[in-house]
Every structure is written in C-alpha cells, then in structure tokens.
C-alpha cells in the first residue's frame, strides 16, 4: 500500500484540505455521479480519491492515489452499484501519503457498516484518541477522522442521530462530515460552519457537496447551504433536518473566498468570483499606484486583478500565462530548471509587459518562495517596474482548522516586516489588503453576514475554536480529511 | 483496493490456508529475509503476501495481491528497514480476495503499534466479534484475525504476555500466531498444536516459521518445533518461553503430511516426504493389484506412488507430466479447453502408458472433479486399465480449523459410495487408504506421537476442538489467516 | 502494445498535431531537458510522448501513451543518457492510438541509427509509400513519417545533408522535422514554413523547438526562427545552416495564432497573445453590439474577449470558469451528464452574468457542437441576452497540412449559413471576424510579413501546397506527426 | 518500451530459445487457442510473448514482456479477433530484453501485412543484414528475424511461396518459421530440421506448433512432424505441402531430447521422456557405482535417474525437492542467501539422504556453477557420499543454432578436465554419458533415424551447418527467435 512520491511542482499556496460529496439516489448510478461530482471538487484535494456505495445490504468501495481520473476506471466504477454514495478527495497536510489514510473510511460495527468522509480538522483529536485507545480501541490510520469513527461505534447502541449528537459534543474543531450506512446518508456541518457544505436536488435524488460547483457539474439544482451545527438525514422516508446543539458564533473560513473555493461556487450566499473582484476593488481604493498595466498571477489572482483594474482605470492584461497541462511530475528537475522552477507553471508574455510599469496581483503570500521568481521573470521579459499587491492581509498565524499553512516560523509575514518581504521578492513596492478592507469587501457581497462571523485567525491569531495550549501543529495526521 | 478476479486453473485439492514467518534480527535486512522465507512458504497461500517491520519506533509494512514475487519489488522492500519482521502468505477460503484482508494486520493501540499474522481458524470468531462490537469495537476486515487484534487491544493495559494468555482463554480453534511490536516478536501455537510452527537460528537472529523448509531456504538451523500452547517471546533480552495454560489433547492436522506441507519439511519430528512414502507402502499392503506400472499424479501423489512401487515391486514411471509454468491465468478458456482443462496442468506421457495396466496414485479426492479427466486422459494415451488408488481415507467431513474443504455436501465421499465414485471417474478400480493404515504409516515415522494425537476429523467427524452447533461453515471470512 | 481507449471530454476545437524538441548539449542531462521542454509543448499533443537520446555509440529511447508526465518516470529518464536528444508529443488525427505510431521513430540503417520527429503532414505520402513498398520497403507504422525515414535510408549512401535535400525534393506538404543520429542533430522546416520551428541557446547547448515557450521553460535564450526551407545541422563542430532549395511562397498556418500555439509563444516575430487581442479589437471594429459585459470562452477565447472589451469599452468579466483539473477520463458519463457534458469543463459564474446582456467570444467554431451548450448554460445562469462572436472567419475547408479539422461535411460553416448556425446555437446574434479583418490584425503585429504569406486555406479553400485530386482526407495516418 | 530487469534465480542450464504456434481456424477463437497453446510452450521462452491475428482485412496483434499469463489479459485477447493466428514465446540469448524484439514481427509491405514468428538462429544474418541495409532497408529490431522479414518484402512481387523459397536459398542456420498474412498461414522447417515443428488438427482447424505437447493441451490430434525443408501453406483452399529444395543431411538438435523439450512431447517419432530414461539406463551400463540411492536433480534429471535406478537396481528416491513457485524475482538476495542461492529452487530431503551413499543425476553441466552447491547441500543434509552422474556428454563447443550456451570459455568442460570439474563440485566421483552411449539411447528409441542425423556439435564441434570463420558468437541479437 505504499505509493511513489512525486515532485509536486513548487507553488506557494495554502493547501486545502478535502472535498466531500454525497448522493442519495435509488435507481441512479450513484457511484458514477459521485465520480463526476468529485471531478468538480478536484481542486480541494489531489492526493487520493475514494467512493463508497451502499446497496441496502452492505457498503462496497474503492480508493486510489492521485486524481479522481487516476484512481478510478470504468471497471472499478461498475463494481460500485447501489442507491447511496459518499465520495472524498484528499489533500494531506503532512508527508504521509498513505492509501490507508484515504477516505471515505469504511468500517463494520455492531449494527452493520458505515462510511465516513470528512473535510476539516479536529483540534482535540489527540486527546480523544488517547481516551479511546486506553479503553481498547484500535486504529488503522493516523487521521483524526478515525476518532469520529470510533466514537460513532461507541455510541452505536443509540440511534445514529443520537450517536452523531453525542459525537459532536465530544469533538472540537472544524468538520463538514458525511456519514453513510448501507441505506442512508447523513450530513453534518460543525457548529461554527468553518468549512462549506451545501444541498442540492437532481430529480428525485439528493446531493450534498462541499461546493456548489459540484451541483452545477451534475446538473443538480442548488437548494441551500447546510447550516452550522445542522444534521441532515436522508433515506427512503425523505430528508429530515436536526439542530440539536445550541449555536455558537459562526466562523466561516474566509480563505475559502480568497483562494480555496472554485470561483464559480457560491458559499453561504456569496459568489466566490465576485468576492475576489471586490477584494481587488478594495485594494485599489487602499493602494493607488501609477502604473501602465495590471496583471494577475493565474489562476487565483486574476479576479482580484480585474477588480483592481476596474476600480483604478489602469488596463488589465494577461502578462503571465499558465501551462494548461501542469500537474504532478515524477521527474526531478535539473539544477537549472529548479532554480527557475516557476517557469514550468508560468511564463511571462513579453510583448505585454516589456517597457511597462506593471502591477502584479496575487491572492496571498505564504512562505514567499515563488513571488520573487515571478517578479524576476517579469523583469527578464522587459517590465520596467513591478509592484506587487496582495488581495488579502499578511498571514501571520497557522490554521488549526483544516488548512496547511505549515508552522508559524515558515510564514514569511510572521517573521519579516513588509519592507523585508518586499526586498526579498525584489519588487518596487508591496502592499497587502487590510483586514478591515477584506471584511468590507465581504460585507459588500452579503450584508447579512456580520463581520465577526468569519474566521480571520490566520491574519490576527484570534482563534474562534479553542486550540490546545502548546499544540504541536498537526501532531496527528492533520486536516482530518 | 479492488483486485481483478482470476481464473484459477481447476484443481481438486483441499486448499491451505496460510503461512507465517517471523524474524528477530537486529542488524540484518529482516524484510529481505522475510521475503525469501515467504518465498519458501508460497505453497501455503498464493492470494496475497505481506511483510511488516518494526524499527523500534514504529511498524512499517507493505501488502499486495498475488505471489510474494508479485506483491514486492526492490523499492518496496527497501522501504522496510528495521530489526524485527513478520510476514504472511494468505489463501482465502472464500471468494473475497480483498487487499484489506491481507495480513499481517497492523494496528495502533494504547501502547503503540502491533502487527499480527495468523495461520489457522477460530471456531468462535462470530461470537467473540459480536461481543466486541456491542461494546464499540470497529472492524476493517472480515477476518477472524481482527478478533484477536481487538482482544489484544482490550487486554492491552496488562503486559503483552498477559494479554496473549487472556486472549488464548477467549479464543477457540486453531492458530499459529505471530505478534510483533515495534521491537519484539512473539509466537504462539494453539494448545492443540493443529498447525505447525517451528523455531530456527540464523547466526544471532531468531526465525519462526510455519515449516522448516523456510529455515532451510534462509540457511537457518532448525532448533525445535514450538510446542502446543507455548508462547515464545523474543527481544533484546533474548528468548523466553511461557507455557501458561494446561495442555489439552494434542491434535496435529494429519493433512499437513498428506498434502499441504512441502515434502522437504519436517514437522513435529516427521519428514513429510518420508510420511508420504510410508502411506504409499501401507497402501500397497492394503491393496494388491495386478498391473504393469505405478504412476503418481504430480506433484503431491508422486511420493506415495514411489512407496507403493517399492513395496509392491511394480515399476514406477512418470506417466503424467506437469506444466512447470502453470499458475494463475486471467483468460477465460474456450469451451473446448474448459472441457479438458486438466490438460493445461497435466499431460500424459503416451509412450509410458500405452498398452499398460496402470496404477495411478493421488493423495486425496475432494470433490472428485478432476480424477475422471485424468483417467480419461490416460485412456486416450493408450492405457489398457487404470486403477486409481488414494493414499488417504475418504474425506467425509468439513474442516473447521483452517482448511478449505468446502461444505459437506460438496465432498464426494460424503454423499457417494466408493463404487459410485469409481463409476464417476471411470476407473477399473478405486481404493482408499484405511484410517488405521494412515495412522500406522504415521506411527512408523515417529512412535513417540500417539495415534490419537492427530486430528482426523475430516475422515471421521470426531472434532477435537468444539465447533458451534449449526455452524454455517465459514460464516465469517474463514481460515482467519 | 494496445492501449485503453479514453473518453476525451467533448470539445469543439481543431486539434493540433504535434510538438517537436531537440537538444544538442554534451555534458548536460539532455533527456531531462527534453522532458521539461516537451512539458511546455504538451498542448500540441496529448496522445503519446517520446524521447530518444544519442550517446555517440547508439540511440536509446522511451515512448509511452498519454501526457509527458504519464509516459515517463525517473527510472525511465535515467536510462536515457547521452549528448543529444529529440522529443515528440503527438496528437493523432485518426482514431488509432497505437504506441507503435508514437514518435520519434527510431531505426537502424546502413550507417548506424537515426531518430526522426515530425510535426506536419505530407500530402503525397500514399504515393511515396507505394513507390517504396514495391521496391521492397517494409513499414511498422501507419504514419507518413515512416516515408521520410525510408527515403533517408534509401539516400543514406550520400551525406546526411544530401539525403535530406533529396528527401525534401520528394516529399510535399508541411513538416517541421528533427533528425538525430548517434551524435548529431538536424532540423528542417518545410519550404512553405507552414509549422513553426525556432532555435535557442542554453549556455553551450542548442535547443530547437516547435514554440518559443519551450525555450522559456528551459531558461534558454531565443535565437531566431528556423527559416522556411532551411536545414540546420548541429554537432561537435557547431551549427551549420543550409538553404539548398529555392524558396516558394511562404504559407504560415494562421491557426497557430488563432488557437494552437501557447499565448506566451512568439512565432515568426509575432506574439500569439498580442495577435489574439488584436483579433478581438478588430472584431469590435467590425461588429458593434449593445451589451453589458464581454466574456471569453476559456482559455483560448479570453485574449480576444479582452481585446474586444478594450476597443468597445464594454467591461470584461470572467463569466465562465474552467475546471483546472480537466483532462482525460476513463469513465463513461451518465446520460444526464452527457447531455450537458460541457459542464465538466466549464461552469457559468451566475452572479457575473445574471440579468446581463452578454457578448461571448470564442476563437473558432468547428463542428458547432459545444457553443449551443455554453449559450444554454449562460441563459440558465440568468443571462438576458447572449451574443456570440468568433475571432476568426468561418471554417469551410479541411486542412491537409497537419491539423485535424475532420472532413468537410462535418464543418458546420461548410454546410450551414450563419443564420442557420445562429439558430442552432440559440444565440441572439452570431458574428465571425472577416478574412480581411484577420489579416489586418496580423499585419498590425508585423507589417513585414505580407498578407499572402499566411495559409488561409481552411477559410477560403485556396491551398498553397498541391493536394491530390480526390484525396481521401487522411487516407494514411494523417498529420504524420 | 523499456522493461525492469529481473534477478533470474541462478541456474546452470542451456537456455532455449523460442516456441512458435500457428492456427488456421475460421470460426474459432484463434487468439484464445494460441494463448493456451503458448501456455504449453512456455518452457521454450519466458522473456516475452506475442500473438498476431489475421482477420482477412488486416493483422492485429499484442506483445508483452514476461510469461504468457503476464503479457495477456482478457481485454487484450478479446481485441484479437480473426481466423488465423501466430504466437511466439521468446527467450533472448543476450541481455537486451526489449519489447521491440518480441515476436511475432508484424510489418506492412507492398501486398499488405505479414507476421513472422521464428524459432532458431541464422548463421549468416549479419552478412544478409548488411546487404539489405546498403540498398536502403531499415531495421527496427536487432533480431535476425527482421532479415527474413526484409527478404520476404524484397521478393514480395512473386507469390508468397516463391518469396519463401528465395529466402530459404539466402539464409543459413536453423529456423522453424511461421509466416502469416491477413488470411493465410505458412510454416517452414529448415532443410536440416534442427528445431522441431509439428502439425495437428482440431476439428476443421489446423495447428502448427514447436512441440506436440501444445497440441495435447488444445485437445488437437497430432498429424505429423513438418519435414526438414518442407513448406506448408494453409488457407481457405486447405493445406498444401511444398518441398522445393534438395534435402541436405538432417541434423536434429539432440539437446531438445536431453533438456529443452517437455517430457510429454514426441519429436520426430521419439518420446522425450522415454529418451531420457534410455539415457539413464545407458549411463548405468557405462558407469556402475556402489551406492544406496539414486536421486535426480529436478525436474529435468528425474527421468534419467529413474532409468539409472531401473537398470542398476539401486532404489530411486526424491532426495531433492523443488519450490513449485519458483520463477522470476525482482528482489536482490542478501549476501547469505546469494551464497547458497540454489536453496531458493531446491532443498534436500534430509531423511531421504542422511547416512546414504547417493548417486545424483543431472542432465547436463554447462558452466558448473550450481552442481557444487547441490552436492554441498546434500552433504549438509547428511549424505555420506555423493556421486554425480550426467546423462549427456561434456559440452565443449558453443551452439550457433539457437541455444544459449554462451561463449566457449564459459563452458566448464571446454577448459577443465573431468577430474578438475569433479574437484570443483566436490563430489566423490563424476561421470558423463559417452557420445556413443547417447546415440545408442536415441537409436534404441527410433532405429529409423540414423546416428548422423543428430546435431552433436556442442559435444564434438562438428557443425552440420556452415558457420562464419571467427564468428563473434551472437554478434547480432542471437537466436533470432
């Protein structure tokens, strides 16, 4: 069950995490629908993919390493016949790319079989795991999701809804969770609503997905977002919603809007693409620069760059092009290529930038390892000036809720001043969007969501969900998902 | 984790079961030694192979479908560095060829990691599993070995020896069991000693294996058989033996000598090859036939045929030849080939048998599906008469201790008289070795083992270890191993 | 050597063809450089990839199906040691995805070994092949490139330059050709210069590539385009250029600028991205529409859409989003998904288009199978009006020079009027760029290239290179490459 | 097209070479029959396997590395539909395990397609290849079979029979050759009849195979051997035999009987198994030894050992056991295991040999690398004396006709005296069968074949077919097959 390690093309981004998808659709080819749904959620995890199907009698499943299209073929999919399905794409926050850690996790317990798919990260997983282990629980994986699995089995003598509520009382952190039995689908979003989860209909069938773009791909109609703390249960008797626990402060991850989610998704009523444009417009209000063109770092910086261009009146152009076929490679680059590895992904359009004063907009800077190379590439292509603008505030604190921001000391904005970062990347100037500006851009999109309803911990260190003192970041296989 | 199903070439044999191998050898390449040891035990299981290695800190492992040589390559083996190893080859007694069921089973519990490899079958697995499940245990596999694993975790607050003894009190059935922690190797043989297990030394290292032929292959010296009910523990302080439970009647599986074990192995002091020859000699005493040549059905019938020839004076010849490259094929035979599928494995040497009265000796008849085809093939090649002799008694009862004899109604000798079987296979005559004769042949080899120290249940229905009333043969994934 | 057929996600584009790359670089890891160079040319062919390396003594090679990253791994690349390399990515214009047809073609002839990589299509390949066959030539592939290979072997008693010139006299059609011996690299561009080919330097090494973006990726400096009819020879004595044949009319494929080439490439002095923007601007001059936003069909329609927005003053927005992970899938879509399969690749950003009058710009329409689905998707997302504009003229004639435009009757503009097409796709209006407008946009970029120096045959039917009467389009395995 | 190199388990045998199989059977699943036929010929080549099928219109094919069961799966076989098939298993005599060299070779020539499968070795291949190359022929492989292919194409303007006769005039050496067009099957055996080739019928279908055991496996009836120099042509008009060339001295390879062929095959009227027993009996007449038991080195030494036991009256026993699952392994042995690597294949039955004076019979000694290890293993198991007898004469000269005996200096009997060899292997005595004795054993089987009708060149250096002076053994990819 080992897997060849790959040389991910270098990129300086926070890395999501996971995507989940559930379908309750007797009479439909649910595994096939799950496949194409996961295909739309591929950006949320490229390490492994899995689909489990319940056929009333049992749960059958297949999991594989790599992209959805790599993990499945026609034969494998045909073996997954049933009425209800859950799927998962995973990005591991640590180095251990084990097939054993791929989800959904499938297990047998006193009442039958169950499959669990998780997006998020539990902050008290180590503690809960210890408690389970000393009373005899065994573990096959190093994921926090197996803690959920064991709790569900422990509470399994009750009804499944009751077991879920008890489990929700025990666990802390972020979780958009799908639980499937042989004949039933349950969906849960944590009480803070950190990660997105939405509901759709495809004819008679129900679809639950991390993002609405998966519903669009399947041709399903968007119904609504699952609410923070809500449990949805779907079976032959239809859909039932349950809100058992009192609702704490909502704390939706703002980085879903800045970078993670697909631009064509709508999360909690806000279009991701429109939010990004608004961040760009706000950036233009905060930071006026005398320049000839605005360009975005593709793909995620493009929308903000267009917003900036719109507000500032400086023309937008495609100054950087991305290789459409970029992906994993199993090949070690030569020394020459490694030095300028960013060229494997991006190339400057010299005729667009030469002789120009360029404003280059990216959505975020994490470690700061690639921005300098892009600036250099633009200069090599003839840019006279390069001003770097970032459509989010400086990232100064790690995320404990399911995103791989690595440890604090690796975050460039946690250890360096903006001036130092500017020098490091060699730009004429460097500006970040302010925290207030970011929230203003969000409020502009949906005034009904209060400013303190977003988790901004990575910018300000104010963590909405308790984190253990001295928590060794990801002591367990983080992200759970 | 699915696996393409294969068309096993048809053969009418009881199917072993599993093979286990453990090595405690700091400073040695224990995974590589385990690989070559399993290579020697390949005949005990061809469905999947696995090796787990403890490196003091953790347990790393790899498992794969197919033969040892298919499941491992140099890269995978190199990743398994450590001081102690356990390996397993598996033959599943049911159709579910799941990689998830491959062994060793590896799990994390309150005190660290553990790996378990099992040869045998628990008769009270369903009951024990139920008891564990209702108190919250979850299961990843459908094997009875996972029951052992959960019991060890439950008793895990005690020392490992104590946990093992408690587990041995709970479980019933046959088991040659290897348990490995990050730094220690334990070996257990069930109190009846149903399956073999022996100990060897390779320089400073200890080797524990299902059969002595694995020791020979590694160049290790045979030390002794593990005794029924004995627990062996090996770590940096050396080897300790523990016999905690009172010893019931020994009940070594006599079929290990008749068919399963490799002829070059010595089990509990008896050479498998010599035992088979003795059975052939005894058969000659019980059944005198006027014929021109004696031939064996390769490979397992050859030794008995030679013994018969020796005792009777009728010359032995190789009248049947086996395709050396026979194995799994992924190809569906044509109708013509299926009808005489035995020819893919065997072919008659016409010049040896034509015009002759032939005595054909096989070690056993299970379903009776191939003997008729072999008789027909010999006639087609010119044999004048074909007398079939079997060097074991008629199999009339299923095995519950780790051998795939299928259900009782499929056993031809359980439902038909010898005359009916003879007619079915179309031989001039058909004779089986008597139960008394079989035991006499065994006693001839080692007079120290009493006749009632062998399990003869498949011939007589007298089961030495309690089996549940109305046990649906292999309700659980049988054989455990 | 068979290969599983895949379900290419449906798309209505002309399909390039092939990409070639050569490196002469003693002391460098030429295979690794070729790998990353092909990575940059991946858009020119995704069916198979191959690299051959000359090490003075012999030529070693590896070819595989799929993307460059799928066809090669570290082990395979390490086996390719040498001083000179040629690589190839292939898109087959017919259905036969045979590994045998993958390039470079490697062969042994009287003077040693040779490798040939070809981008283009010979129009007299069938005739030449017949002539060779009747005098005893044998063929392993169904490609026209093997005709080149056999001609080179026939003329092999002369010097290689002479053999190449004789071959160029025999063959008609388009070809950017790389020929490698054990120690030497030759590059040829056909006398009409139909396909691009350019030269670069990487330290002491020379690089020849289909497009300049490959030079950028390797960090190589662009030197110049290879001229039509030019032969370049590179070996230990350096680079020699040879122009033996009189130069006919230049006829560069204009579709390289419209769709095929990467936007960051510069071909014959013209930036592909800037040319596309100019086409968009020209479209705005020819066709004024009262609308709220301009959107492009990603990725290739984006630049023209921006040009249109710039010229017209109507704001540009990202109304359509592409799945970044789109690629091959081995899964048959469900009926529901097939009906709206375009959603696997694209999704509308509803908040951007709802209530708006939308101008949607694409670079071309071939069969017309997807435009209607995109229009429908935009309406579903709330667009009030959808006007479709195409930044190239109607395609009415097939290409015989290396592009898969399929047969004439499948070209929608060859059989339907613009009004009929508009009705078919359901847009409020439909406009194409005029032929004069297209040439004007090109001349705007580089006034030195005369208007009649482009091949416009697919728009007007005036073929610059003779094509056989009644040529069954791609009787042979077309595209040669 | 590269292939991972494997660690063949060490063995000291001459290595065959290749196996061919052809079927003409409209209405039958010819590819499937070819598969199972090759399965029976697997012992003749384990490096690669291929099947080509003619369906009247074209030839389709698949080739793969490894065993037949590894190279093919159900899907690949299903793609091979047609009326006529040729198959091939290959053992390369050199290290280059290229898929490109796998057979059948398929090519297109002026009249259509052709497939060629070859068992044997051309002695003038280099010369013929040179002649073809200087007149423009190109080569894809390094095999001598491609010389045959090019000659057939050159002579292709005549009828196929005429082209074959002309080709037979040009080529020298050994060849059992199958040639297939889209609708026709031809079979040729070289004028000396070095390699075997026989004809069978399966209902209406014709089968041609290297050995009769393949006919048995398919349930086909043996018709007759193809005669030396004979051409058989089979198509819709039935079978035609052609003997165009005058017949030289027959020179059947005697090693087919000693080691290569399967014991259940009958070649030119002689049972391979019976021939081996006769060699053993003759050995007993030539060499009387006072011993307790006779054992054979499995599998190929067993028949001779039984013959020796029969003639001498000394009892035969199975003193050595072979691992049934031995095959290729991809794992590098540890130093300990490498030193006694023979144990991976063989193990001694200690109870059979201990305290005994043992006669151990093997069929041949080539390099002498394993015999010593086996002797040592027997002593370690308790043998008091070990006398080694060889049922063939000393091999002193290399084979140029398709067998891998390696170069002369590696043949232990070419450089050492029998006494020196005996010392090297550490046996009490060492005896070889005499050349006269070998021929006597053969004549005993079929008195109609004269003694000088066998090729004994490897024992005596008298080569029946001209070999080039100073021929660098296998300058070309030898064995052709």
Q: Do C344 and A36 touch (CB under 8 A)?
A: yes
How far apart CA D187 and CA D169 sit, in angstroms, is 16
Show the beta-strand stretches assigned E in A36-194. 48-54, 59-65, 84-90, 105-109, 112-122, 173-180, 185-189
B455 assigned to a ligand binding site: yes
The pLDDT of residue B237:
95
Residues 41-70 on C with a CB inside 8 Å of D are 61-63
Give the minimum alpha-carbon distance from B462 to chain D in angstroms, rounded to a whole number: 32
Give the minimum alpha-carbon distance from B22 to chain A in angstroms, rounded to a whole number: 20
Q: Does D321 touch chain B (CB under 8 A)?
A: yes
C235 assigned to a ligand binding site: no
Q: Which of C302, C331, C332, C374 to mutate to test the interface with A (most CBs of A within 10 A)?
A: C331
Farthest CA pair distance, chain A: 72
Burial environment of residue C334 by CB neighbours within 10 A (0 to 12, 13 to 18, 19 or more)? middle
Q: Residue C478: is its pLDDT beyond 50?
A: no
**DSSP string for residues in A282-329:** HHHHH-----SEEEE-TTTTHHHHHHHHHHH-PPB---EEE-TT--EE
Helix ranges (H only) for A141-271 are 145-154, 160-170, 212-218, 255
Q: For residues B26 and B237, is the Cβ–Cβ distance under 8 A?
A: no
Residue with tokens 């939308």: C358
Q: What is the mean pLDDT of chain A?
A: 89
B-chain residues near D266 (CB < 8 A): 350-351
Averaged over A260-280, what is the pLDDT? Answer: 95
Averaged over C431-446, what is the pLDDT? Answer: 96
The pLDDT of residue D11:
62
pTM of the model: 0.85
Averaged over B463-472, what is the pLDDT? Answer: 72
Q: Residue B115: is its pLDDT beyond 80?
A: yes
Q: Does D74 touch chain C (CB under 8 A)?
A: no
Residue B188: phi and psi, rounded to 5, are -135, 140
> Which residue in chain A has the smallest CA separation from C350?
A264
How far apart CA B321 and CA B298 sit, in angstroms, is 7
Q: What is the mean pLDDT of chain B?
A: 89
Give the minimum alpha-carbon distance from D350 to chain C in angstroms, rounded to a whole number: 45
SS3 A341: coil
The pLDDT of residue B476:
39
Short-list D277, D276, D312, D320, CA closest to D292: D312
Averaged over A321-338, what is the pLDDT? Answer: 74
Q: Residue B362: is its pLDDT beyond 80?
A: yes
Averaged over A408-421, what is the pLDDT? Answer: 92
Return per-residue pLDDT of chain D as tens, 481 residues: 333 334 445 567 766 579 999 999 999 999 999 999 999 999 998 889 999 999 999 999 999 988 898 899 888 899 999 999 999 999 865 434 567 788 999 999 999 999 999 999 999 998 999 999 998 999 988 888 999 999 999 998 889 999 999 999 999 999 999 999 999 999 999 999 999 999 999 999 999 999 999 999 999 999 999 999 999 999 999 999 999 787 788 999 999 999 999 999 999 999 999 999 999 999 999 999 999 999 999 988 999 999 999 999 999 999 999 888 876 666 777 777 776 778 888 999 998 999 999 999 999 999 888 999 999 999 999 999 999 999 999 999 988 887 766 567 889 999 999 999 999 999 999 999 999 999 999 999 988 888 889 999 999 999 999 887 654 444 333 333 3
Residue with tokens 């708006």: C356
The pLDDT of residue B7:
45
Q: For residues C150 and C123, is the Cβ–Cβ distance under 8 A?
A: no
Residues 116-135 on C with a CB inside 8 Å of D are 130, 133-134
Q: What is the mean pLDDT of chain C?
A: 89
Beta bridge partners of A471: none
Averaged over A68-87, what is the pLDDT? Answer: 92
Show Cβ contacts of residue C204 under 8 Å, excluding neighbours closer than 6 positions.
Answer: C25, C26, C27
C-chain residues near A334 (CB < 8 A): 28-29, 32-33, 36
Q: Which of B6, B36, B301 to mutate to test the interface with D (most CBs of D within 10 A)?
A: B36
Catalytic site residue from D5, D18, D287, D460: D18
Beta bridge partners of A191: none
What is the set of domains in chain B, with CATH numbers? Answer: 7-251 (3.60.20.10), 271-460 (3.40.50.2020)
Q: Residue A352: is its pLDDT beyond 70?
A: yes
Show Cβ contacts of residue B442 under 8 Å, excluding neighbours closer than 6 positions.
Answer: B254, B257, B270, B275, B278, B449, B451, B454
Catalytic site residue from A18, A213, A287, A479: A18
pLDDT band of residue A203 (cuts 50, 70, 90) is very high
The pLDDT of residue C156:
86
For residue C101, CA distances in Å to B462, C47, C120, C135, C404 come to 67, 10, 15, 23, 17
Short-list A282, A274, A260, A272, CA closest to A431: A282
- The complex's ipTM works out to 0.87
pLDDT band of residue C299 (cuts 50, 70, 90) is confident
Specify the higher pLDDT residue, C335 or C304: C304
Residue with tokens 């018709």: D223
The pLDDT of residue D96:
45
Averaged over C322-332, what is the pLDDT? Answer: 73
> Which residue in chain C has the smallest CA separation from D146?
C138
Short-list D460, D440, D459, D458, CA closest to D450: D440
C18 is catalytic: yes
pLDDT band of residue C375 (cuts 50, 70, 90) is very high
Q: Residue B255: is its pLDDT beyond 50?
A: yes
Edge to edge, what strands does the sheet with C48-54 contain?
C59-65, C48-54, C84-90, C18-24, C205-209, C198-202, C221-225
Strands B84-90, B105-109: pairing is unpaired
Q: What is the pLDDT of residues C39-88, one digit of tens each?
A: 999 999 888 999 999 999 999 999 998 889 889 988 889 999 999 999 99
Residue with tokens 């490799």: B262
Residue A480: phi and psi, rounded to 5, are 65, -50
Q: Do C156 and D136 touch (CB under 8 A)?
A: yes
Q: Residue C477: is its pLDDT beyond 50?
A: no
For residue B344, CA distances in Å to B4, D33, D322, D324 come to 21, 12, 20, 16
Short-list C479, C453, C477, CA closest to C398: C479
The pLDDT of residue A5:
33
Strands B266-267, A84-90: pairing is unpaired
Q: Does B166 touch chain A (CB under 8 A)?
A: no
Specify the higher pLDDT residue, B179 or D477: B179
Farthest CA pair distance, chain B: 72
Q: For residues A295 and A319, is the Cβ–Cβ distance under 8 A?
A: yes
Q: Does D444 touch chain B (CB under 8 A)?
A: no
Short-list C210, C151, C201, C147, CA closest to C178: C210
- The tokens for C461 are 């039917």
The pLDDT of residue A249:
83
Short-list A40, A31, A262, A265, CA closest to C344: A40
Percent of chain B's residues with pLDDT above 70: 90
Percent of chain C's residues with pLDDT above 90: 72
Name the residue facing A138 among B76, B109, B133 (closest C-beta): B109
Residue with tokens 């799941």: B98
The pLDDT of residue C11:
61
Q: Which of B95, B107, B110 to mutate to test the interface with A (most CBs of A within 10 A)?
A: B110
Q: Residue B5: is its pLDDT beyond 70?
A: no
Catalytic site residue from B18, B213, B287, B479: B18
- The tokens for C147 are 């005709």
């Amino acid at each position: 069950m080992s897997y060849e390690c790959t040389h991910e093309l270098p990129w300086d981004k926070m890395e999501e995490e996971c995507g989940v998808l559930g379908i309750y659709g007797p009479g439909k080819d649910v595994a096939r629908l799950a496949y194409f749904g996961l295909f739309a959620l591929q950006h949320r995890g490229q390490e492994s993919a899995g689909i489990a199907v319940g056929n009333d009698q049992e749960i059958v499943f297949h999991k594989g390493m790599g992209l959805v299209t790599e993990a499945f073929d026609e034969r494998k999919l045909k073996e997954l016949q049933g009425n209800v399905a859950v799927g998962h794409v995973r990005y591991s926050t640590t180095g251990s790319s084990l097939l054993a850690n791929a989800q959904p996790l499938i297990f047998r317990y006193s009442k039958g079989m169950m499959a669990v798919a998780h997006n998020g990260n539990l902050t008290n997983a180590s503690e809960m795991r210890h408690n389970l282990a000393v009373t005899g629980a065994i573990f096959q994986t190093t994921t926090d999701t197996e803690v959920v699995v064991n709790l569900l089995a422990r509470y399994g003598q009750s009804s499944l809804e009751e077991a879920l509520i008890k489990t929700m009382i025990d666990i802390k952190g972020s979780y958009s969770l799908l639980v499937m039995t042989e004949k039933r689908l349950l969906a849960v979003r944590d009480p803070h609503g950190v990660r997105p989860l939405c509901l759709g209909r495809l004819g008679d069938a129900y679809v639950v997905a991390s993002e609405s773009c998966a519903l669009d791909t399947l041709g399903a109609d968007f119904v609504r977002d699952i609410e923070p703390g809500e449990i949805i249960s779907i079976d032959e008797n239809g859909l039932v919603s349950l809100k058992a626990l009192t609702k704490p402060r909502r704390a939706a991850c703002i980085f879903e809007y800045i970078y993670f989610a697909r631009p064509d998704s709508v999360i909690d009523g806000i279009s991701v693409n429109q939010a990004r444009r608004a961040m760009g417009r706000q950036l233009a209000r905060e930071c006026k620069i005398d320049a000839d063109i605005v360009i975005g770092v593709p793909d995620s910086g493009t929308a903000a760059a267009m917003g900036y261009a719109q507000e500032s009146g400086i023309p937008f152009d495609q100054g950087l092009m991305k290789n459409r076929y970029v992906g994993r490679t199993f090949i070690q680059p030569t020394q020459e290529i490694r030095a300028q590895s960013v060229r494997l992904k991006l190339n400057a359009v010299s005729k667009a930038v030469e002789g120009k004063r360029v404003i280059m907009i990216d959505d975020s800077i994490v470690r700061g390892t690639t921005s300098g190379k892009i600036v250099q590439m633009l200069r090599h292509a003839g840019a006279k000036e390069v001003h770097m603008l970032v459509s989010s505030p400086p990232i100064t604190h790690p995320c404990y809720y399911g995103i791989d921001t690595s440890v604090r000391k690796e975050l460039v904005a946690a250890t360096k001043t903006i001036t130092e970062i500017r020098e490091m990347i060699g730009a004429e100037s460097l500006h970040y969007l302010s925290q207030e500006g970011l929230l203003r851009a969000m409020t502009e999109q949906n005034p009904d969501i209060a400013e303190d309803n977003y988790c901004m911990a990575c910018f300000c260190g104010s963590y909405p969900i308790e984190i253990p003192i001295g928590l060794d970041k990801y002591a367990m296989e983080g992200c759970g998902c």
